[in-house]
Chains A and B, each alone.
Chain A
Amino acid sequence: MSHAAAAHDHDHDHHMPTGFKRWFMSTNHKDIGTLYLIFSLTMLFLGGAMALVIRAELWQPGLQYVDPHFFNQMTTVHALIMVFGAVMPGFVGFANWMLPLMVGAPDMALPRMNNWSFWILPFAFSILLMSFFVPGGAPASGWTLYAPLTIQGGMSVDMGIVAIHMMGISSIMGAINVIVTVLNMRAPGMTLMKMPMFVWTWLITAFLLIAVMPVFAGAVTMLLTDRHFGTAFFNPAGGGDPVLYQHIFWFFGHPEVYIMILPAFGIISHIIPTFARKPLFGYSSMVFATAAIAFLSFIVWAHHMFTVGMPLQGELFFMYATMLISVPTGVKVFNWVTTMWRGSMTFETPMLYAIGVVFLFTLGGLSGLMLAITPADFQYHDTYFVVAHFHYVLFSGAVMAMMGGTFFWLPKWTGHMYNETLGKFHFWLTAIFFNVTFFPQHFLGLAGMPRRYADYPIQFTEFNQVSSIGAFGLGLSQLLFVYIIVSTVRGGKKATAEVWDNPEGLEWTVPSPAPFHTFDTPPTIK
């Protein structure tokens, strides 16, 4: 392709920074994307280690290793790290790497802000982690930070609030960058309805982020003033309303779960057509379904809090609205399956991941449908059934999609092919241990085990042991992931520009690895 060649020739005119300057002062979307991805992987291991502390303690009833207060710190910080440290920055890393390549732009629109939005994160998480060492330990009131329990916490809660503010600022800056890049820097001829799905899903995600991160910031600021300045927004001792906190939190929290899944939908929508050798089925309905999901995500927040004693009319409204989300989500699943239908499929590692995501995410979606039925939700609420549900959505949905995306684009990023055998091995280890970990938790929840329990009655022992075995297997399998990535970066078979058999999209028209500066002259889309 001519523009690719031109872009490559042009590359020699640029000075490519090295060392400290390249990695710490970068304004290049690819380097910042790499930084984000490495950060996300680091956080995945850190959050995962905390999950293993949890699973070790839950190996059998009674307290063996940690006291309940430390256990609560583990559950809280595990969740905060996974949500704000692993999943969200991971997708921002993908956005940074791929959006300019996909829309034919030379870089992100606001490269210096891009540098800022990344470098805030290591400081934010350092503050969060330092809170383990202050008197009283880290926040222990669950990642939802429900008042009035948070009002009781020590100074770690304040450190957590500062960290959350910083993460929020970082996310909002990332989102602004995505919106400006996508809306202003597309190559000539790329109309909105010609944009790749990943670009679409990220554009919608970015709007969600801008809409809800400030809401969360507001909620935690009100908590902060309740704690220190004598206000009583949520403190019942002063006439405040603890349920108000939950409404505000979930008005952020529910769109947040779609912030964590929509980009994954985008990645899957690239992998499946490539390996089915067939265009994505129902592109426009995919776009509309994504937008519909985003819209509905704003009017279903209270399904997280059916048991707070809402009026019947409120419960009915939130039940109906929640059930409705399954329609556009179903459309997406049907579209992916139909894309596979009568294709010519091969099963390289990214495709295995994509199929795994569709299969397991749908399982999580179906348990979500069960949760939407309010009377039944009263029984599922705050049990391990919910824990199983959201791990099916977030691990096998978001995290496995990122793993699939990593294998899919790794040759483009590094210029080398990864080891296919090891890649497949990694997929099967991850998928099997994931199910061993989380499937039994459905049964635990139905049988009545509440979540966030450091200790449990003896009849829950067997399933907890299965789950703990799975968790350690799942954790150890991820070392293989690191090994595959490191060995691919260091060498291996050279990747061609197209990498896969006839993939779609501008990113495949440039050499592998993608040059430091791509598309100085914009490509034209017919």
Chain B
Amino acid sequence: MVLSQHTRLIAKLSAFGSLLIATLFSGLALAEMRLNFQDPVTEVARDIYGLHMLIFYLCVVIFIVVFSVMFYSIFKHRKSKNYQPAQFSHSTSVEIVWTIIPFLILVAMAVPATKVLIKMEDTTKSDLTIKITGYQWKWGYDYLDSGISFYSTLSTPREQINQFDEDSAQPLGENYLLETDNMVVVPSGRKVRALITANDVIHAWWIPAFGTKKDAIPGYINELWFNVDEGKEGIYRGQCAELCGKDHAYMPIVVKVVTGDEFDAWVAAGGSFDASNIADAEEAKEQSIPEAAAEAVVDAIVASAEAVEAVAAKTWTQDELMAKGKEVSATCNACHGVDGKGMPGVFPAIAASPIATGPIEDHLSIVMYGKAGTPMAAFAGQLSDEEIAAVITYQRNSFGNDSGDVVLPADVKAKRN
């Protein structure tokens, strides 16, 4: 029974084929080595995934049809098989047909694509708004509804990144390049609107699982939105997607999605997951007395203001400033090098530089207000008086610079005014 053999063969082949496709595109079979989009966790991301697969299958069909015709003629219509060439060279009806059919396929594609696009661009009726600012090379986040704001920088240690010398290099961690010091916290089940801009050059904010990507452009405020499904709480990771200079690969985006209640507690605690702050806020919530909750917030603000004052009033010694400065200067080292030697022509050296060994006034001004036309950013808004004072003191007394200068927070404060 030749026929049944064929049928069986075809059945086997198609079973194998569908297994193969299932393996390739389930995204579950190969958790580490992904072949397709990350699993979508928002409605828009699911729509995009659907569109993507629809057009992918369509392309596969077109590909198979066109090239089965081509390979059929390659195998059958060849000179070595003594095939005599036909001499036809045009057929108006065929040409009209193969212009119109692709056109109709495109119309069929354009309709769902248009629907999804309209949904994607509708940022109205949001529950909360986060302003996202791209910097070389970190992200700044401001929660416009609650006043929480922080910066988020890569937390992968440089010792892992620099593998130039294999002996001193550290092995790479599990979340290599996908980890930050501060995470963006958002609630599930609420529509989050993000306003996106940049401080220096163009960056792009991208979380693949949310189906969002928008450029962060200086002078522009772009918008995007996402609404993570309830039950999909967890940590989602993305990266900057627009070439933004040397450390383009080193500005990841890490978003922690929590339930609405957890988010409210987080906001009430002033953007901290610190257990005692959350306990206070939750206690207030349990008592369901709005005044108590408000009081807790006020207390937190007063406490933090007192802490700030205490720091400012403190008399800093050079050693203290040096220790703190070394900590803060990780930001500077990304460009100017851990040895302070910089990168000639691009990032000037700190060691023996006219800025770090010259007048303190100039040094303060370049750290606080940056330098136009270079990647040197203005840090006046990003660092506190203490941090600026510490880092300048550190730079003036290390890398072979031994001025002995001490810059105090009060000096920075004076410069600010």
**A446 x B37 contact (CB < 8 A):** yes
Residues of B within 8 A of A282 (CB): 89-91, 95
Instruction: Tell me whether B241 is interfacial, beta carbon within 8 Å.
Output: yes
Instruction: Tell me whether B383 is interfacial, beta carbon within 8 Å.
Output: no
**A312 x B118 contact (CB < 8 A):** yes
Instruction: Tell me whether B219 is interfacial, beta carbon within 8 Å.
Output: yes
In the complex, residue of chain A having the shortest beta-carbon distance to the beta carbon of B37: A446
**A146 x B243 contact (CB < 8 A):** yes
Of the candidates B66, B89, B238, B248, which one forms a contact with A281 in the assembled complex, judged by CB atoms under 8 Å apart?
B89
**A72 x B246 contact (CB < 8 A):** yes
**B214 x A284 contact (CB < 8 A):** no
Instruction: Tell me whether B212 is interfacial, beta carbon within 8 Å.
Output: yes
**A68 x B344 contact (CB < 8 A):** no
Of the candidates A343, A448, A459, which one forms a contact with B208 in the assembled complex, judged by CB atoms under 8 Å apart?
A448
Top-3 shortest CB links A-B: A135-B345, A136-B345, A236-B219
Q: B355-410: which residues lie under 8 A (CB-CB) from chain A?
A: 372-375
Residue of B47, B98, B250 most packed against chain A (CB within 10 A): B98
Q: B5-51: which residues lie under 8 A (CB-CB) from chain A?
A: 32-38, 44, 47-48, 51
16 more contacts with CB within 8 A, not counting A72-B248, A455-B249, A459-B34, are A60-B163, A308-B220, A327-B99, A330-B98, A331-B98, A341-B69, A342-B85, A344-B77, A345-B73, A375-B116, A378-B213, A446-B36, A450-B249, A455-B250, A458-B176, A462-B33
Count how many chain B residues have C-beta atoms less than 8 Å from C-beta atoms of the other chain: 102
Q: A268-293: which residues lie under 8 A (CB-CB) from chain B?
A: 276-285
CB distance from B120 to the nearest CB of A (A): 6
**B47 x A375 contact (CB < 8 A):** yes
Binds A, one of B52-60, B290-298, B299-307, B319-327: B52-60
Q: A207-233: which residues lie under 8 A (CB-CB) from chain B?
A: 227
Residues of A within 8 A of B103 (CB): 327
**A319 x B85 contact (CB < 8 A):** no
Q: Complex: how many Å from CA A330 to CA B109?
A: 16
CB distance from A440 to the nearest CB of B (A): 9
**A152 x B245 contact (CB < 8 A):** yes
Q: Complex: how many Å from CA A149 to CA B218?
A: 11
Chain A 368-412 interface mask (CB, 8 Å, partner B; 1/0): 011001111011011100000000000000000000000000000
Residues of A within 8 A of B38 (CB): 447-448
**A450 x B121 contact (CB < 8 A):** no
**A337 x B70 contact (CB < 8 A):** yes
Instruction: Tell me whether B113 is interfacial, beta carbon within 8 Å.
Output: yes
Contacts A344-B77, A345-B79 known; A457 to B177 CB distance under 8 Å?
yes
**B213 x A68 contact (CB < 8 A):** no
Number of A-B contacts (CB under 8 A): 301
Residues of B within 8 A of A62 (CB): 160-163, 169, 172, 176
Residues of A within 8 A of B51 (CB): 373, 375-376
In the complex, residue of chain B having the shortest beta-carbon distance to the beta carbon of A345: B78
Residues of B within 8 A of A136 (CB): 344-346
Residues of A within 8 A of B48 (CB): 375-376, 378-379
**A154 x B345 contact (CB < 8 A):** yes
In the complex, residue of chain A having the shortest beta-carbon distance to the beta carbon of B25: A446
Q: Complex: how many Å from CA A149 to CA B200?
A: 8
Instruction: Tell me whether A463 is interfacial, beta carbon within 8 Å.
Output: yes
Contacts A61-B177, A370-B59 known; A327 to B345 CB distance under 8 Å?
no
Residues of B within 8 A of A330 (CB): 98-99, 102
Residues of A within 8 A of B212 (CB): 378
Residue of A241, A277, A448 most packed against chain B (CB within 10 A): A448
**A379 x B208 contact (CB < 8 A):** yes
CB distance from A232 to the nearest CB of B (A): 10
**A359 x B247 contact (CB < 8 A):** no
Instruction: Tell me whether A320 is interfacial, beta carbon within 8 Å.
Output: yes
Of the candidates B33, B69, B117, B120, which one forms a contact with A319 in the assembled complex, judged by CB atoms under 8 Å apart?
B117
Instruction: Tell me whether B230 is interfacial, beta carbon within 8 Å.
Output: no
Q: Complex: how many Å from CA A138 to CA B375?
A: 16
In the complex, residue of chain B having the shortest beta-carbon distance to the beta carbon of A237: B372
Residues of B within 8 A of A240 (CB): 219
Instruction: Tell me whether B87 is interfacial, beta carbon within 8 Å.
Output: yes
Chain B 212-225 interface mask (CB, 8 Å, partner A; 1/0): 11110111101100
Residues of B within 8 A of A142 (CB): 243
Instruction: Tell me whether B168 is interfacial, beta carbon within 8 Å.
Output: no
Of the candidates B95, B206, B245, which one forms a contact with A285 in the assembled complex, judged by CB atoms under 8 Å apart?
B95
